[in-house]
Amino acid sequence: MDATKGLRHSIGACALLCATAAAANAQEDPVVIGFIGSMSSDVGLSTLRGAEIAIDELNAAGGVLGGRQITLVTADTFEDVTEGIKAYEYLNDVENVDFIVSGSIDDVSLGWFERMAEYRTPTLDTWTSYIGIIDMVVADYDKYKMYFMNIGNDYALATSLIDFGKDMLAGEMGWKSTVILQEDTAFGNGTGEFLAAELSSQAGVEILDQIVYDINAVDFAPIFNKAVSLDPDFLYLISSVNSQVPSSQYVKLQVPVPMTGINVAAIGRDFWDDTGGTGGGASTFSPLPASGMDHDPASQQFVDTYQERYDTRPIYPHFNGFNAYFGIKNAVAAAERAGGFAPLDAWVEEMENTDLVLEKDGQLWHRFAYWKKGEIEPRTGREYTHNLKFDITEPYDDGVPPMAIVQWYQDGQQRIIYPPKYANGEFELPPWIEQ
Amino acid sequence: MINVLIQGLALSGLYALLAVGFTMIFSVGRVLNLAYGVYIMLGGYMYYTAVQVLGLPKIGGFAFAIASGIAFGVLTYTILVRRLEDNPVAVEIATLILAVVMQSLIILIYRPVSKSMWPVVQGVFRYEGVFVTYNLLVAMVVSWVALAGLLLFVRYTRYGRAIQAVSMDRKGAVISGIDPRQMNLATWAISGALGALAGVFFATYTQLNPSMWVGPLIVAVAVVVVGGIGSIIGSLIVAHIIGFMETFTTALIAAELRGVFTMILIIVVLVVAPKGLFGRSEL
Amino acid sequence: MPKSQFHRYLLCWLAFGAFMCLVPLFASTGMVRVLIFANFLAIFAMSWDIISGRTGYISFGHPFLIGIAGYTTAILTRHLDAPLYVSIPLAILATLVGGALFFVPALRIRGTYFALVTLAFMELMYQLTQVIAPKITGGTRGLSGLKTIILGAVPNYYLSFFVMFAIAFCLWLIVRTRIGSALAAIRMDEEAVTALGLSTFKLKLFAFGTSAAVAGIGGALYVHYIGSIAPRALFDINFLFTILVAALLGGSGTIAGPILGAYFLTFLLEYLRPFLSGAERYLIYGAITLIVYVLEPRGLHSILERAYARIAPALARGFAR
């Protein structure tokens, strides 16, 4: 780690010495990186800002690929599938990008996915975790090999959630029954089905009911009433879209049963202000590196730079900000080794050989590497070609788990409570529930 | 069962308040204002700005919301609708476009991120395993008070009767010396105020979001379509039909089908009984 | 209409067609890609205009028709592995059935209420595609990785342009006949048309059928160009807004108007991209349309026509000299 930093500094010094030559070269022929994603959502902005910081650091260190500067061009998807396709075309046809970093949600990524195969532009996703995309890369490697997903997929994530249910909810809390509240989306239904089957068989938690709700639902009182009337030990929320609605109504209604699960709104640090300071006791999954965790030095440095540079929402980078920052560093490093982003095969090969390990106190804390073609993950027994390398078996010495559980406290603090390796806080329930 | 009834009642009260401003414009001006959802959105965002950003007291938030509702209602009428007045179809198209424009404006100012609003009244009403927020109960009471006030205004004040006269017989009203444009303007102002007031409760009940205007608009459309042209009592009844239907669907059938029945109701009523279930009665 | 005028318009169409055929020779790939979207938008706007601009039955549910076509061909090719020459005609047929669903309420209601029913159709479809049989429709994520007809910007440009041009030309020939004037008469006064002994039933059925067929052709080709289909991209007020705005801004009740509007808007949006990203672009989009609509409800087409009428004599004099 220190060695790379030293190396980067010496490159920087070197670049300063021959500044004139480098600058002239850079202005003639910059490397163009495209950003595609929603430029007004917290998540999209996290990716964009992660990319901005990475690119500025690379440029300040003297540029890449023989002193060329990087230019960042952006294309907004408005979280709309068709706009996403147009944006992808724009980046390629008009801006002639060398590489694309994406902060798209899953249906948008699926929209431009075929365009990517047509243009064959190296592309790194930081937010979509849809397993179906990875399956396409597995099934047709040659067609889609330019794609890398720099976040653990949702199948791995669900497996991790089962462990949380087994160890913490059933094991530690002694909870034996639940009602699942799942949003009616592909993500909600997929995760919900998986959880319902595995929670009972693996963790021994009885599923009293599984309530599917419409993502445009505005009134959760009947849903909570129905759930509470079944007398479960806890509620399991699965909500990735509009999750402020169920979570804020849970607080407003002071529902007398604990609730945990997936509540995407509670991942970011802005949640506290959004709820007007009433979010204490909420807990949710978050991909790593999560807000509220103790970071390794490199990630902490990224956070510091981020907070120094931006004072608007999101006030703290979401996980995908880290994914974009380190993902771009990886992609550029692979290009350096391969002699550029083209030819594609050389870059893909070098990208597959990437292994960025971030350590904290001598322990593996984070790892940005990617599953290779044909490599089998031992626990689930299947391939995850070009997905971020994750580890779903304790003690997580080969990679990070796909997610952690983030807990909000009454004083507005955010900490990690699961898995134990990353935990720095305790599970806590909302104040109106007697423990 | 009792909780379904209580929640249905509370929700229906809110829906009645949401729909009444829309109904008024339709009965007086004979046009459908598809930008009506914007008043609701505006009410929510202005209250939020006043109370949660500027730190004003809640009463100031209401004043701010209602004033902006009135202003926007009057502006919509004078700048857009008055120019297209003879053509209800043109008004319908133009107000739909206006709604999308306003949605973009809200995104521009407040970003597309959803925001939670603090309830106007804190606390939860609990009874035998039923829980309803005081906020929603207050919304229901406010809704009844506002509707009763409106009914009294229309029936017993000179101005209100003039508005009613225009809604029943425009030509007749002109002959008896009433200026229909002025009455229309007043209606749009009242509608804006009611929409914004409903918006404050709707937003505290749910959340603030730039596309939050669509849901209430569909409820308002359903109320007008099913209730027939511009009857306040008819609207009240239909708001309860829709409110209870949604609550029953969520609690007893399947939560994800909640909106489907409202849509089917609109289609069936329009095709089978285009005049609505309650036909034309007085305002 | 005098014969010389017919020839002059014909000449205009041919000149337009010839010019557009040459575009890929000098335009960048980026512009060609933009034009493909403009062509599709023009098809949708023309389809809308046949019902709404001509007969006055305002459809707020056009995405519903386009969506039926799109989903039919997407599902057939994805799940049954049907070839495109089977799935696309079937999709158009399905859209005709959908158009008939529109037609039933149109027998009883018109004007503002008709618009509401069609809007309800669209919203209903949005919810149903997610709730009913998500395994087949792909639920909220929709279906992606669909077959493409041809690859590459320029071939797709020619495909989309020829289809658009053929539709426009056929529609132009149709509206020049007595059917065209009868349809316009329905907008003005439906009773008067009946009084003349014409069957409004047959005329409306014709208009709805034509509109649905055009929407079906456009929708089916569109999803196979895009390669994916999702409920949020289709059954959405923003998509409806784009179609409406293209037809109205260009000039409804004409053939050239919707094409003009579609090209104008697509280019406006793409050229604003580097300067304004995000919601500002839609704001400008809508604001321009509102202003034009209030000042000149017949759109840019009418404004240009009047400008031409003013300039033409001067030009003629210039040439004469």
Q: Is B162 on the interface with A (CB under 8 A)?
A: no
CA distance C164 to C214: 9
Kindly list the residues from chain B whose CB atom is less than 8 angstroms away from the CB atom of residue A244. Answer: 114-116, 207
pLDDT band at A19 (very low <50, low <70, confident <90, very high): very low
pLDDT band at A69 (very low <50, low <70, confident <90, very high): very high
- Nearest by CB to residue B271, choosing from C117, C131, C283, is C117
SS3 C64: helix
Structure tokens at C67: 């969506």
Average pLDDT, chain A: 87
Q: What is the pLDDT of residues A119-132, one digit of tens each?
A: 999 999 999 888 98
Query: In chain C, whose CA is at the least distance from the CA of B111?
Result: C279
Among the residue ranges A1-5, B42-46, C42-46, C155-159, the one predicted with the least confidence is A1-5
Asked if C226's CB is within 8 angstroms of A214's CB, the reply is no
First and final CA of chain C: distance in angstroms? 29
Task: Answer whether residue C58 is part of any domain.
Answer: yes
Structure tokens at B72: 């926007």
Chain B closest-CA separation from residue A239 CA (Å): 14
Structure tokens at C235: 């059954």
- Judge whether A235 and A263 are in contact, CB under 8 Å: no
Asked if A40's CB is within 8 angstroms of B111's CB, the reply is yes
Task: Answer whether residue C79 is part of any domain.
Answer: yes
Report pTM.
0.86
pLDDT score at B166: 80
Find, among C97, C89, C36, C41, the residue nearest to C65 by Cα: C97
pLDDT score at A23: 45
First and final CA of chain A: distance in angstroms? 45
Kindly list the residues from chain B whose CB atom is less than 8 angstroms away from the CB atom of residue C248. Answer: 93
A435 has a pLDDT exceeding 70: no
Asked if B130's CB is within 8 angstroms of A244's CB, the reply is no
A1 has a pLDDT exceeding 70: no
Q: Is B267 on the interface with C (CB under 8 A)?
A: yes
Task: Answer whether residue C167 is part of any domain.
Answer: yes
- Judge whether B175 and B148 are in contact, CB under 8 Å: no
Find, among B34, B39, B182, B50, the residue nearest to B95 by Cα: B34
Q: Torsions phi, psi of C47, nearest 5? A: -60, -45
Asked if A276's CB is within 8 angstroms of B52's CB, the reply is yes
Structure tokens at C164: 């658009």
The sheet with strand A234-239 has its strands ordered as: A206-213, A177-183, A234-239, A259-263
Q: What is the pLDDT of residues B21-37, one digit of tens each?
A: 898 888 887 888 999 99
pLDDT score at B230: 57
**Mutation site for C-interface testing, chosen from A36, A83, A93 by largest number of C Cβ within 10 Å:** A93
- Going by DSSP bridges, is the β-strand pair A414-418/A403-408 parallel, antiparallel, or unpaired? antiparallel
Q: How many CB atoms lie within 10 A of CB C175?
A: 17
Task: Answer whether residue C175 is part of any domain.
Answer: yes
The single-letter code of the amino acid at C45 is A
Q: Is B136 on the interface with A (CB under 8 A)?
A: yes
- Judge whether B228 and B280 are in contact, CB under 8 Å: yes
Q: Is B181 on the interface with A (CB under 8 A)?
A: no
Cα A296 from chain centroid (whole Å) = 17
Element (H, E) at A208: strand A206-213
pLDDT band at C220 (very low <50, low <70, confident <90, very high): very high
Find, among B106, B215, B83, the residue nearest to C286 by Cα: B106
A192 has a pLDDT exceeding 90: no
- Judge whether A65 and A32 are in contact, CB under 8 Å: no
Among the residue ranges A277-281, A345-349, C19-23, C91-95, the one predicted with the least confidence is A277-281
Task: Answer whether residue C19 is part of any domain.
Answer: yes
- Mean pLDDT over B258-281 rounds to 76
pLDDT score at A53: 97
pLDDT score at B137: 86
Tokens 């003639």, located at residue: A28
Percent of all residues in chain C with a pLDDT value above 90, rounded to a whole number: 35
- Judge whether B217 and B21 are in contact, CB under 8 Å: no
- Mean pLDDT over C123-131 rounds to 83
- Judge whether C226 and A82 are in contact, CB under 8 Å: yes
Structure tokens at C93: 């047929």
| Interface chains of chain B (3 or more CB pairs under 8 Å) | A, C
Q: What are the residues whose beta carbons fall under 8 Å from the beta carbon of B78, sequence distance 6 or more?
A: B185
CA distance A373 to A369: 13
Among the residue ranges A44-53, C128-137, C211-220, C240-249, the one predicted with the least confidence is C128-137
pLDDT score at A101: 97
Query: In chain A, whose CA is at the least distance from the CA of B124?
Result: A253
CB crowding C46-83: b at 16 or more within 10 Å, else e: bbbbbbbbbbbbbbbbbbbbbbbbbbbbbbbbbeeebe
Q: What is the pLDDT of residues A281-323, one digit of tens each?
A: 899 999 989 989 999 999 999 999 999 999 988 999 999 999 9
Kindly list the residues from chain B whose CB atom is less than 8 angstroms away from the CB atom of residue C293. Answer: 90, 93-94, 97
Task: Answer whether residue C116 is part of any domain.
Answer: yes
Find, among A110, A164, A56, the residue nearest to A392 by Cα: A164
Cα B247 from chain centroid (whole Å) = 19
Structure tokens at B58: 């809640």
Q: What is the pLDDT of residues A354-363, one digit of tens each?
A: 999 999 998 9
Structurally, chain C folds into a number of domains equal to: 1
Chain C closest-CA separation from residue B178 CA (Å): 27
CB pairs under 8 A between A and C: 93
Q: Is B218 on the interface with C (CB under 8 A)?
A: yes
pLDDT score at B173: 81
Q: Is B97 on the interface with C (CB under 8 A)?
A: yes
- Nearest by CB to residue C228, choosing from A40, A74, A81, is A81
Distance set, CA B279 to CA B227, B235, C117 (Å): 7, 11, 18
Percent of all residues in chain C with a pLDDT value above 70, rounded to a whole number: 97
Q: Which of A72-76, B272-276, C313-317 has the highest mean pLDDT?
A: A72-76
- Mean pLDDT over B59-83 rounds to 94
Q: Is B247 on the interface with A (CB under 8 A)?
A: yes
Chain C closest-CA separation from residue A406 CA (Å): 27
CA distance A121 to C221: 25
A390 has a pLDDT exceeding 80: yes
Q: Which domain holds residue C220?
A: 3-236
Kindly list the residues from chain B whose CB atom is less than 8 angstroms away from the CB atom of residue A218. Answer: 202, 205-207, 215
CA distance C129 to C137: 6
Q: Is B31 on the interface with C (CB under 8 A)?
A: yes
pLDDT score at B133: 80
Kindly list the residues from chain A whose CB atom is less than 8 angstroms away from the CB atom of residue C279. Answer: 40, 78
Query: In chain A, whose CA is at the least distance from the CA of C140?
Result: A185
pLDDT score at A298: 95
CA distance B89 to B84: 9
Q: Torsions phi, psi of A123, nearest 5? A: -135, 135
More reliable by pLDDT, A101 or B149: A101
CA pseudo-torsion sign A84, C20, C17, C289? positive
Task: Answer whether residue C260 is part of any domain.
Answer: no
pLDDT score at A259: 94
Cis peptide before A395 (omega within 30 of 0): yes
Distance set, CA A235 to CA A188, A268, A287 (Å): 15, 22, 21
Q: What is the pLDDT of residues B88-133, one digit of tens each?
A: 888 989 999 999 999 989 988 887 777 778 888 888 877 766 777 8
**Mutation site for B-interface testing, chosen from A218, A228, A245, A318 by largest number of B Cβ within 10 Å:** A218
C279 has a pLDDT exceeding 80: no
Kindly list the residues from chain C whose CB atom is less than 8 angstroms away from the CB atom of residue B90. Answer: 293, 297
Average pLDDT, chain C: 87
**Mutation site for B-interface testing, chosen from C293, C295, C296 by largest number of B Cβ within 10 Å:** C293
CA distance A264 to A285: 8
Asked if C33's CB is within 8 angstroms of A186's CB, the reply is no
C147 has a pLDDT exceeding 70: yes
Among the residue ranges A47-51, A354-358, C96-100, the one predicted with the least confidence is C96-100
pLDDT band at A11 (very low <50, low <70, confident <90, very high): very low
Q: What is the pLDDT of residues B125-166, one digit of tens each?
A: 777 667 778 888 888 899 889 888 888 888 888 888 888 888
CA distance A113 to A95: 18
- Nearest by CB to residue B97, choosing from C104, C278, C290, is C290
- Mean pLDDT over A72-80 rounds to 87
- Mean pLDDT over A33-50 rounds to 90
Q: Is C37 on the interface with A (CB under 8 A)?
A: yes
pLDDT band at A54 (very low <50, low <70, confident <90, very high): very high
Q: What is the pLDDT of residues B201-232, one digit of tens each?
A: 998 887 888 888 988 898 888 888 887 665 67
Tokens 């102002």, located at residue: B189
Element (H, E) at A363: strand A363-369
Task: Answer whether residue C150 is part of any domain.
Answer: yes
DSSP C177: S
Asked if C227's CB is within 8 angstroms of A115's CB, the reply is yes
Asked if A242's CB is within 8 angstroms of B129's CB, the reply is no
pLDDT score at B139: 87
Q: What is the pLDDT of residues C38-85, one digit of tens each?
A: 999 999 999 999 988 888 888 998 999 999 999 999 999 999 999 999
Find, among B238, B215, B242, the residue nearest to B228 by Cα: B238
pLDDT score at C187: 81
Asked if A216's CB is within 8 angstroms of B251's CB, the reply is no
| Interface chains of chain C (3 or more CB pairs under 8 Å) | A, B
Cis peptide before A419 (omega within 30 of 0): yes
pLDDT score at B29: 79
Asked if B221's CB is within 8 angstroms of C286's CB, the reply is no
Tokens 């289909």, located at residue: C229
Tokens 């933009």, located at residue: C34
Asked if C144's CB is within 8 angstroms of A111's CB, the reply is yes
Average pLDDT, chain B: 85
